[in-house]
Amino acid sequence: MTTHFDYDLIVLGGGSGGLAAAFRAAQHGKRVAMLEPGELGGTCVNVGCVPKKAMWLAADLSSRVTLAAAMGFDVPTRPTLDWKELVVHRQGYIANIHASYLKRLDDTGVVRVPRKGRLVDAHTVECSDGIRISGEHILLATGAHPQRPDIPGAELGSVSDDFFNLCSAPERVAIVGGGYIAVELAGLLQALGSRVTLLVRGERLLERFDAELTAQLAENLRHHGVQLHFNYRLRELRRDGDDVIAYGHDGPAEPRFDQLFFATGRRGNSAGLGLEALGIAIGDKGEVDVDDWQTTAVPSVHAVGDIAGKVGLTPVAIAAARKLMDRLFGGKPQAKMDYENVASVVFSHPALGAVGLTEQEARERHGDVRVYCTNFRPMVQALADGSQRSLFKLVCVGEDERVVGVHLLGEAADEILQGFAVAVKMGVTKAQLDDTVAIHPTSSEEIVLMR
């Protein structure tokens, strides 16, 4: 064990990646200190995945009650929500997570320092109270934050973090953006009572996902009541009484809103960490430059999660952190993060999931591509005269039709995707899937691959 350092590992940031690293290093018997001035759990637990999923569940329940009314149940066609009561339950759930993290830090012997940190040199961190501590290795896991565009009146718009401060659904809402956060907020707010307008800079939603899948998602959102405006260029925001007015290109005829949210990207929390003085490169979006092993230009300084600028997903941050700790302290020199075939889920309504290559990516990389796709109206939508459609798509390559991409839009997409993610990683063929996937007869019309 290294003795001339105070700790074997100093972690800056107590989010998902930082916690995963601290716990794994402690399992390897290492001395660990974690600097985190705020609540444990980072974006995911406090203003991301967890509270978002709670709101998504509420929106999903609202949609199901509406379907139940259409199918003959004696329930209100449009159920009302006591938003404040939901927030109480949501925050209680989050408080339990905080308590669990604190207990585990105590149980594993990780020292929590409720301060910000700044690197003084390759092995020294100065806490915001002036105290310095040293570590053989330093891990940057400080995450990222939402950003506003540089336009006049930008301060009149809210960011995604502000969504979780709402105590009711604003009547008229604009969301600027077309990525994960924009799509999820649009579906949530529309289902919970708002009239939502999506102002999208690009030509379609979720540009990193399969175009056919996102086109169907856009159609579903329209049927749900969301207004979509593509190729939109926001120029300025102005206040008129209680209204926020959006001035842009090819926007809505009535650009007045009670609240406008920016979902226009995030920036890594790298400012003030002292990285530039050590020669650690920082990208245009505040991300720290790391190699395939999560290490910066300084061998003792590493980064995982949103600040590392790889794949901004909580499970990826956790996996990368664990692999890094196994390499540094567990005697596993080959423990390297594989960013290929990472499964991604967007909690739209319904949920959208994908793993592997899109159809376009497969054609660019392999040329010989076979696509199997089905687009259908699920039984519950048909029974309730609903208009929402689901889509299931396999992308296969080569003579053996090896599955390189799976794309889902529909009920339980997040759960179904888990099994298909394993199949893609193992390189199974379409024939092997046909032999192993069992489908209940009543849903046969929903999974027949049409082309």
Which is nearest to 261 in space by CA: 192, 193, 330, 197? 197
Residue-wise pLDDT for 428-438, tens only, equals 999 998 877 65
Q: Are residues 158 and 203 in the same domain?
A: yes
Q: Are residues 436 and 356 in the same domain?
A: yes
Residue 451 pLDDT > 80: no
Give this prediction's pTM.
0.92
Residue-wise pLDDT for 38-97, tens only, equals 999 999 999 999 999 999 999 999 999 999 999 999 999 888 999 999 999 999 999 999
DSSP state of 223: H
Residue 165 neighbours by CB distance under 10 Å:
9
Alpha carbons 213 and 371: distance in angstroms, whole number: 13
What's the CATH number where 166 sits? 3.50.50.60
Alpha carbons 269 and 379: distance in angstroms, whole number: 46
Domain residues for the domain of 276 are 7-47+85-146+267-329
Q: Is residue 344 assigned to a domain? A: no
Q: Which of 264, 289, 309 is the last residue of a domain?
A: 264
Q: Is residue 128 assigned to a domain? A: yes
Which is nearest to 358 in space by CA: 337, 344, 378? 344
Alpha carbons 140 and 271: distance in angstroms, whole number: 12
What's the CATH number where 407 sits? 3.30.390.30
Q: Are residues 283 and 256 in the same domain?
A: no
- Asked if the bond preceding 51 is cis, omega within 30° of 0, the reply is no
Q: Are residues 140 and 271 in the same domain?
A: yes
Q: Is residue 70 assigned to a domain? A: no
Q: Is residue 78 assigned to a domain? A: no
Which is nearest to 211 in space by CA: 368, 371, 69, 104? 371
Alpha carbons 357 and 208: distance in angstroms, whole number: 10
Residue 337's pLDDT band, with cuts at 50, 70 and 90, is confident
Which is nearest to 320 in space by CA: 355, 284, 288? 288
Of 184-188, 295-299, 329-333, the range with the lowest mean pLDDT is 329-333
Token digits of residue 44? 């995911």
> Which residue in 123, 137, 366, 440 is the catalytic one?
440
Residue-wise pLDDT for 202-235, tens only, equals 999 999 999 999 999 999 999 999 999 999 999 9
Q: Are residues 402 and 255 in the same domain?
A: no
Annotated active-site residue 440? The verdict is yes
Work out the average pLDDT over 365-373: 92
Q: Are residues 121 and 188 in the same domain?
A: no
Q: Is residue 168 assigned to a domain? A: yes
Structural domains counted in the chain: 3
Is 331 buried (19+), middle (13-18) or exposed (0-12) by CB count in 10 A?
Answer: exposed
Work out the average pLDDT over 254-273: 96
Residue 449 pLDDT > 60: no
Alpha carbons 186 and 173: distance in angstroms, whole number: 9
Q: What percent of the chain has pLDDT over 90?
A: 84
Q: Are residues 135 and 12 in the same domain?
A: yes
Q: Are residues 219 and 175 in the same domain?
A: yes
Residue-wise pLDDT for 128-154, tens only, equals 999 999 999 999 999 999 999 999 999
How confident is the prediction for the chain on average, in pLDDT?
A: 93
Q: Which of 264, 293, 318 is the last residue of a domain?
A: 264
**Which pLDDT score, from 0 to 100, does residue 441 have?**
41
Q: Are residues 182 and 36 in the same domain?
A: no
- Judged by DSSP in three states, 268 sits in strand
Q: Are residues 189 and 96 in the same domain?
A: no
Q: Are residues 118 and 240 in the same domain?
A: no
Tell me the torsion sign for CA atoms 15, 20, 23, 25: negative
- Judged by DSSP in three states, 318 sits in helix
